[in-house]
Structure 1
Amino acid sequence: MSDLPKTPDHIDNHSIPDSRAISFHCPATRTVEVSIGEKVLIASDFFIKSSTQDADSASDRDCLDRFISALNRWDGPGVVIIAGNLLDFLTRSVDSKTIPDSPLFQAFASLCSRTNIQIFVLPGFRDSRLAYDTAAAEQLRQIFPFELALEIDLQIETIDGFEKVRVTAGREFDPVTSATDPYSPVETPWAQHLLADFWPRYQSNKKSKWLHGVERLRDPIVSVRFVISRMTYQKAARFAPWILLPLLLSFLVKIPIVISLPIVNRLKHHAVSLGSQLAYIGAATLIDSAVLLIAILILLRVSYARFITEESENIKTFDINVSARLGAANAIENGYTGLIVGHFLTPELSRVGEGFFACTGSVSQIYVEAPAALGLPAIFRPKKQATWIEIDAGASLHARLLSNTSFAKADSLVEQLLVIKRKDKAVRSGQLASYPDGNDYREDQLPVVKQVRSRRIASAAIFIVGALNLASALTPPIRSRLHFIEEFFPITISRTAGALVAMASIGLMFLAGGVRRGQRQAWIFALALSIGAASLNLIKGGDFEEALALLILALYLVSKRNSFKAPSDRPSLRRGIRALVLGAAAIIIFSTSIIYGYAALIKHNHSISYWGTFIAVGERMAGFSTHFLPGTVNQFAAPALALSGLGLATIALFLAFRPVVDRSKGLSVRFGARSERERARAIVAKYSKGTLDYFALRDDKRYFFAHSCLVAYANYGSVALVSPDPVGPDTTKEQAWKEFLTFANAKGWIVGVLGADEAWLDSYQATGMHSVYVGDEAIVAVKEFRLEGKKNKGLRQAVGRIRKYGYTVEFHDPSRLDPHLKAALMSVMGQSRKGEAERGFSMTLGRVFDPSDKHLLLTVCKDREGTVVGFCQWVPAPGITGFSLDLMRRDLGAHPNGLMDFMIVSTIEYLANHAYENLSLNFATMRAVLSGEMDSMTQRVEKWFLKRMGDSMQIESLWRFNSKFDPHWHPRYVIYDNAEHAPAILLAIARAEALWELPIIGRFLNPADSPLHP
């Protein structure tokens, strides 16, 4: 490759510019002050080339005109920043020795001449040469005045002081374009080889016009899909008419065969009947077409699957801006208000923590991936995009994302006909988003939301179509259609086809659950059964309607194939196959021996052989009855064998299509490596803000890590139950949650959240989830708590009574206990639990006195003899500057009423004296309903139901117990993804919290450890 850029081994060292001159010519950072009343305009990715005629030059000029019209309406003063890729030095159509002229440059010159405007140009990936080539920069500077820098730090003046916003070209956030030394003329990132060397080799002549636009992909990593798309629609589409030739021949060949049939000869003078026969011929040809289509799809999969798989494993293309957005999170943590980048071509303005992230998009024509009809490969649509960011300095900083964008026609007629033109908010003109008071704007939708919708539709359609086909198989066919079928096949074939349709229908109905979970294996079987059952419906009785419904279903499954990639549980699959094979073999052999022995030895019926009995038994297990069995034997054995076969198939299907099951056992396996446990503990210690965050460290929870964040969850069957909300930096928690959803979705899990905080509801809803209120957490402000007053008379008397009898409290660190005290505490704990395991999931740690649990607080209550009679363990809750209740225990001895009250009040007083602010107590289920704050008809019914359950579940008593301490009520929610998954999530919560603690989330539900018992 002689024309590749020179490496350091091939270059003359004397040609490398002096770094000091470079830093003066293009410094790494410039600080620019923006006064109140001024405006900043940031745009990028113009890709201005030479005046040579390029195929996309007209579209680019249209985009430039839209942006120039906005410039002409601006009178200044302010700053214009070009955040990378003003020029395109990588395409071969550009003369490397000249700077192309452009109307944009003239507009910049005019703007600077009529108003007080500063222009800054940041070298991007395609014009990185400006950073080290002073001659090229001076040539451009002769057209309009500007200054160079790698990044700009804007100091935006507001009435509250200055706010910092960083502007960068963005290439450093893209692994295929980032450079270790942006001043180096010899460093060539991977994308530079792709754009400057690889693609030009295939665009050197007019025949390679089908690759036009590959250098303008919104996401360059999808170039493999781009090539496949263009080969399909602009190469292979030319040969599409030839595919119809064998289908036409298939149709013509069938005509003489059908016409020669006796029934047709008798009706050959009736045109209507002849038309009916031709319709059957057409239907058969349609089946041929389906078989041909399947063969083509298989060939395409074999040809391209490896490339697409490698691509999907190496890059996450659903969120192009994610790396830059995480860079914004880091900048905001370091004191910046926001980060603005170019390069990524996907406009965005969104909140990140207490600041914002913005991507300028582009002012040029780009190509975006769009779905195609009939499940065909995606089509890449040209998009005339003109988007930019404006910042106003005033009383506060205001940022806006502005757009003047539209879609252009696809490059070929076939693509224009097949592209699905969905409503796209990116085509709007004007303001798309604003900060801090407006809405966010992101173009990339989380794929989980789309996939869940496709799975729901496919699952419902499979079940409904399966039920309809089962009903059709159980009813007699239409007589006229059956007579025609008998001209082709004997009646036994039609009956067998009917039985097979019934079995396929049952299989489809059973597969609906696996398809709903997105399992690839279930999708393959459902697709195969749909196509097979369509053919069988024609054979069993000419049921066109059912066959058409099945073919439409198969077409939908093919079109949404990317939504079904979740794996099945391989160990369960092996067990399912083993159960089916061994179970069937055992039942057939045993039943054959019994039936043959009964017929031959008891009834002395020698009309059947052992082998014949064996085949007949196997048939009846599968639903057939073509081989003979004696009448009395057949009358009772056939239903039993059929039910046995159905039961075996059900068990095998259930095991084959189970979601991935977590089989880890033991603390070390569940938690993973010790390094992961320590990582989780470090994240909780550093970023914990909620009262439930410490409970993420339970022994039965697994961890998902992303961007310094932790998502704690446990698997209960197919449900991944999350609790608490994700823990980590505010700037990256939402991104971590989205990646966890993608992770769970890939495994086919149902996701639910238990004890969700109200502050997280918007984030959950943004990812397609729903919430339901389940109660309130009681949080006591320890410095405001008072025992005085009439309202607190009962509590004051109870605490005074305990103190009068000589009871005292001590406070300890539970990780450093005296062995004798620890033994006494374990004795109390054993009495209160009566030997049962600790219950709880979202508000219970599940272990006590563990040396690894640092900074916990233990309240120990002793009687006048110094005997331990009760204790409370509290976990740290830095978010409320206090502690959260983990568990409360007391012995079974006779004590004055108010022992629990005494321990809680003593803890409140202790925390108030040690500079703490809050203490989280029990959880009150449906408190707002019981207290009458929610008074709709639905809430009245709920209140009546809860009161009836109060005796066994202590729902109302817990609320009233908490109320004695005059707490602030903090609502908690259960989060679920879809209504049909709500029962599974509720059962998972019941398993996690233990029986009869549903819907209580937390603690004190066993009467033995209730705070209401003396």
Structure 2
Amino acid sequence: MDIVFPRLRHSRVHALAELLPGAVSSLAAAASIVVGLLLLMLAHGLKRRKRRAWVAAVGLLPVGAAAQLLYRHSVIGMVLSLVLMGVLIRYRAEFAALPDPRSRWMALANFVGMGAVSVTVGLLIVRSHPDAIEGAPSLGEQLEHVLWGLFGFEGPVGYRHGADYTVGYSLGALGLLTVATTAYLAFRPEHPAARLTAEDEERLRGLLTAHGRRDSLGHFALRRDKAVVFSPSGKAAVCYRVVSGVMLASGDPVGDVEAWPGAIARFMEEAQAHSWTPAVMGCSETGGEVWTRETGLDALELGDEAIVDVADFTLSGRAMRNVRQMVKRIERAGYRTRVRRADELSPEELEAIRRAAADWRGTDTERGFSMALGRIGDPADGDAVIATAHKAADEGAEEGPYGDLKAVLHFVPWGRDGMSLELMRRDRSADPGMNELLIVAALRAAPSWAWSGCR
């Protein structure tokens, strides 16, 4: 503004500012920086029409206006801030979105923790120039200097040789860091966290028992890092997780098809209340039709689903020749398989399988939100099926960290008579073909549990 309107550089505001105490100018400078930084952080929340972001912005803008006038002597900057505040107040009804869960308490914890760290580090900074300190300030005076410095003021401790600038800017930076991280945590989009309660899980299992055959991905609704909304009748539910402001549902709604619209309506109400963007991933063709009809969302084809009818499965014939040869070659190499329900394994063996699966994953990032349960051997999942491949170490060779275990597949129930592949992991040193070997072993064992289908 000073460049565009040079006449505003020197005005009565400058003359008035010269009469104010020096601390006021320092406070205005610090406030100008902090308010500008906070308003930048609030932009995302205002875009999502968050009520808390609106309240913060309306409170900060007059502070910023005063800082513009006292520090920059900018009348135009002050007017623009006040005009923006007026616009926000005029359209306050548009900013009604609820805050994302947990952000308030996480921000408060960060403010307390960072505040304590800032004070501790600030004391070290104050004492970092012992030769430049004037006199012998007490611990109380040093602490007072730190507290004033975090807010951009000059404290009671005096310095020589320009050290006061170094100390002052360092303390101010600590204060800005505390404010910035607290504001980020208060207004950032929600991050995934476990919220599926034991009661929610019990209700979902009841719906899956009655209606689980319809959707091969239904059991994955039991992931415990999801939240759930139920239809008013309680006969259907939608499970979801919020990622970067997107309310992401996976698979079809769980439960009675007739109650799906009620569950979807609750889902959309929750998304609107928090200003989240609704989205669905991995639903069936029927589910896609219901979602698009009830919400107006667009549908994209993601891919086809491979389903094996156990009664018709065979390794005979030209089409299965490659699989048949692979399985026979692996078996001749000395591998053996075991297919059991999870509740048939000992706690020690389950723990070894869990550790092996985590180690063999290869990356820290877990993918498969819509088609992964995210756990193995949980007491509540005793009806899951675990297929393992084993091979004893060659003579003279040492066994691996997991003994003779070389690969694992984990299946979850699909209705009353099916199973859905949830996880497949293998030791990288194992021979190729582990997945083919274990899938064939699981399909051969399925009839003993009266299971007719595998996905």
**Correspondence for 1:684:** 208
DSSP-derived class of the 2:134 partner: helix
| CA–CA distance in structure 2, aligned partners of residues 610 and 818 of structure 1 | 63
| CA–CA distance in structure 1, aligned partners of residues 118 and 332 of structure 2 | 75
Are the aligned partners of 1:485 and 1:542 in contact in 2 as well (CA < 8 Å)? no
**What's the CA shift string for 1:404-449, capped at 9, x where partnerless?**
xxxxxxxxxxxxxxxxxxxxxxxxxxxxxxxxxxxxxxxxxxxxxx
Per-residue deviation at 1:883?
2.5
Whichever residue aligns with residue 533 of structure 1, its letter is G
| CA–CA distance in structure 1, aligned partners of residues 421 and 184 of structure 2 | 41
Confirm or deny that 1:564 pairs with 2:99.
no
**Correspondence for 2:177:** 647
Are the aligned partners of 2:250 and 2:280 in contact in 1 as well (CA < 8 Å)? yes
**Correspondence for 1:798:** 326
| CA–CA distance in structure 1, aligned partners of residues 138 and 351 of structure 2 | 72
DSSP-derived class of the 1:490 partner: helix
Per-residue deviation at 1:684?
1.6
Which region of structure 1 is more displaced relative to structure 2, 774-783 or 731-740? 774-783
| CA–CA distance in structure 2, aligned partners of residues 633 and 808 of structure 1 | 74
Confirm or deny that 1:503 pairs with 2:34.
yes
**Correspondence for 2:400:** none
**What's the CA shift string for 1:929-969, capped at 9, x where partnerless?**
xxxxxxxxxxxxxxxxxxxxxxxxxxxxxxxxxxxxxxxxx
Question: Aligned pair in 2 of structure 1 residues 894, 671: CA closer, same or farther (>3 Å)?
Answer: closer
**Correspondence for 1:523:** 54
Structure 2: state its 5+ residue gaps: 393-403
Per-residue deviation at 1:734?
3.7
- The partner residue of 2:132 within 598, 608, 613 is 598
**Correspondence for 2:399:** none
**Correspondence for 2:395:** none
- What percent identity do the matched residue pairs reach? 24
Are the aligned partners of 1:702 and 1:714 in contact in 2 as well (CA < 8 Å)? yes
Per-residue deviation at 1:592?
4.8
| CA–CA distance in structure 2, aligned partners of residues 806 and 583 of structure 1 | 59
Whose strand proportion is higher, 1 or 2?
Answer: 1
DSSP-derived class of the 2:216 partner: coil
Are the aligned partners of 2:357 and 2:408 in contact in 1 as well (CA < 8 Å)? no
Per-residue deviation at 1:843?
2.5
**Correspondence for 2:270:** 743
Whichever residue aligns with residue 696 of structure 1, its letter is A
DSSP-derived class of the 2:215 partner: coil
Question: Aligned pair in 2 of structure 1 residues 651, 772: CA closer, same or farther (>3 Å)?
Answer: farther
- The partner residue of 1:706 within 231, 234, 239 is 231
Q: How many pairs does the alignment contain?
A: 429
Are the aligned partners of 2:122 and 2:146 in contact in 1 as well (CA < 8 Å)? yes
DSSP-derived class of the 2:370 partner: coil
Confirm or deny that 1:727 pairs with 2:257.
no
Question: Aligned pair in 2 of structure 1 residues 811, 846: CA closer, same or farther (>3 Å)?
Answer: same
Whichever residue aligns with residue 38 of structure 2, its letter is G
Question: Aligned pair in 2 of structure 1 residues 583, 561: CA closer, same or farther (>3 Å)?
Answer: farther
Are the aligned partners of 2:133 and 2:159 in contact in 1 as well (CA < 8 Å)? no
| CA–CA distance in structure 2, aligned partners of residues 801 and 899 of structure 1 | 11
Are the aligned partners of 1:859 and 1:871 in contact in 2 as well (CA < 8 Å)? yes
Whose helix proportion is higher, 1 or 2?
Answer: 2
- 1:938-977 counterparts in 2 under 5 A? none
- The partner residue of 2:436 within 889, 896, 901 is 901
Question: Aligned pair in 2 of structure 1 residues 854, 546: CA closer, same or farther (>3 Å)?
Answer: same
User: Which is bigger in relative contact order (C-alpha 8 A, separation at least 6)?
Assistant: 2
Per-residue deviation at 1:647?
1.5
Question: Aligned pair in 2 of structure 1 residues 643, 807: CA closer, same or farther (>3 Å)?
Answer: closer
Whichever residue aligns with residue 843 of structure 1, its letter is M
Confirm or deny that 1:919 pairs with 2:454.
yes
DSSP-derived class of the 1:842 partner: coil
Are the aligned partners of 1:575 and 1:655 in contact in 2 as well (CA < 8 Å)? no
Question: Aligned pair in 2 of structure 1 residues 828, 511: CA closer, same or farther (>3 Å)?
Answer: closer
- 1:349-748 counterparts in 2 under 5 A? 478-486=5-13, 489-491=16-18, 497=28, 500-516=31-47, 518-534=49-65, 536-537=67-68, 540-544=72-76, 547-548=79-80, 550-552=82-84, 554-556=86-88, 558-567=90-99, 569-579=103-113, 582=116, 585-586=119-120, 591-592=125-126, 598-600=132-134, 621-623=150-152, 630=160, 632-657=162-187, 670-673=195-198, 675-688=199-212, 689-707=214-232, 708-714=235-241, 722-743=249-270, 746=273
Per-residue deviation at 1:509?
0.8
Whichever residue aligns with residue 779 of structure 1, its letter is I
| CA–CA distance in structure 1, aligned partners of residues 78 and 338 of structure 2 | 76
DSSP-derived class of the 1:600 partner: coil
- 1:88-99 counterparts in 2 under 5 A? none
| CA–CA distance in structure 2, aligned partners of residues 831 and 609 of structure 1 | 58
Question: Aligned pair in 2 of structure 1 residues 764, 596: CA closer, same or farther (>3 Å)?
Answer: farther
Are the aligned partners of 2:248 and 2:279 in contact in 1 as well (CA < 8 Å)? yes
Are the aligned partners of 1:692 and 1:843 in contact in 2 as well (CA < 8 Å)? yes
Structure 1: state its 5+ residue gaps: 1-471, 665-669, 921-1014
| CA–CA distance in structure 2, aligned partners of residues 576 and 521 of structure 1 | 18
Are the aligned partners of 1:811 and 1:858 in contact in 2 as well (CA < 8 Å)? yes
Per-residue deviation at 1:476?
6.6
| CA–CA distance in structure 2, aligned partners of residues 894 and 647 of structure 1 | 50
Per-residue deviation at 1:682?
0.5
**What's the CA shift string for 1:39-92, capped at 9, x where partnerless?**
xxxxxxxxxxxxxxxxxxxxxxxxxxxxxxxxxxxxxxxxxxxxxxxxxxxxxx
| CA–CA distance in structure 1, aligned partners of residues 265 and 112 of structure 2 | 38
Per-residue deviation at 1:508?
0.8
- 1:107-146 counterparts in 2 under 5 A? none
DSSP-derived class of the 1:556 partner: helix
Are the aligned partners of 2:337 and 2:438 in contact in 1 as well (CA < 8 Å)? yes
Whichever residue aligns with residue 440 of structure 2, its letter is V
Per-residue deviation at 1:504?
2.0
Are the aligned partners of 2:190 and 2:242 in contact in 1 as well (CA < 8 Å)? no
Question: Aligned pair in 2 of structure 1 residues 490, 703: CA closer, same or farther (>3 Å)?
Answer: closer
| TM-score, structure 2 as length reference | 0.70
Question: Aligned pair in 2 of structure 1 residues 515, 596: CA closer, same or farther (>3 Å)?
Answer: farther
- 1:216-255 counterparts in 2 under 5 A? none
Per-residue deviation at 1:649?
2.0
| TM-score, structure 1 as length reference | 0.35
Question: Aligned pair in 2 of structure 1 residues 771, 592: CA closer, same or farther (>3 Å)?
Answer: farther
| CA–CA distance in structure 2, aligned partners of residues 490 and 804 of structure 1 | 90
Question: Aligned pair in 2 of structure 1 residues 566, 886: CA closer, same or farther (>3 Å)?
Answer: same
Question: Aligned pair in 2 of structure 1 residues 647, 727: CA closer, same or farther (>3 Å)?
Answer: same
| CA–CA distance in structure 2, aligned partners of residues 818 and 487 of structure 1 | 81
Question: Aligned pair in 2 of structure 1 residues 656, 492: CA closer, same or farther (>3 Å)?
Answer: farther
Question: Aligned pair in 2 of structure 1 residues 782, 478: CA closer, same or farther (>3 Å)?
Answer: same
Question: Aligned pair in 2 of structure 1 residues 585, 709: CA closer, same or farther (>3 Å)?
Answer: same
Are the aligned partners of 1:530 and 1:554 in contact in 2 as well (CA < 8 Å)? no
Question: Aligned pair in 2 of structure 1 residues 557, 857: CA closer, same or farther (>3 Å)?
Answer: same
Question: Aligned pair in 2 of structure 1 residues 518, 835: CA closer, same or farther (>3 Å)?
Answer: same
Per-residue deviation at 1:694?
0.8
| CA–CA distance in structure 1, aligned partners of residues 35 and 426 of structure 2 | 60
Question: Aligned pair in 2 of structure 1 residues 585, 863: CA closer, same or farther (>3 Å)?
Answer: closer
Whichever residue aligns with residue 322 of structure 2, its letter is G
DSSP-derived class of the 2:419 partner: strand
Root-mean-square deviation (Å): 5.1
Are the aligned partners of 1:576 and 1:656 in contact in 2 as well (CA < 8 Å)? no
| CA–CA distance in structure 2, aligned partners of residues 521 and 778 of structure 1 | 47
Are the aligned partners of 1:579 and 1:648 in contact in 2 as well (CA < 8 Å)? no
Per-residue deviation at 1:619?
6.1
| CA–CA distance in structure 2, aligned partners of residues 858 and 723 of structure 1 | 24
Question: Aligned pair in 2 of structure 1 residues 563, 486: CA closer, same or farther (>3 Å)?
Answer: closer
| CA–CA distance in structure 2, aligned partners of residues 522 and 799 of structure 1 | 60
Higher alpha-carbon Rg: 1
Question: Aligned pair in 2 of structure 1 residues 758, 832: CA closer, same or farther (>3 Å)?
Answer: same
Question: Aligned pair in 2 of structure 1 residues 693, 641: CA closer, same or farther (>3 Å)?
Answer: same
**What's the CA shift string for 1:756-795, capped at 9, x where partnerless?**
5455456269757677777654334556666455454322
DSSP-derived class of the 1:886 partner: strand
| CA–CA distance in structure 2, aligned partners of residues 790 and 553 of structure 1 | 74
**Correspondence for 1:98:** none
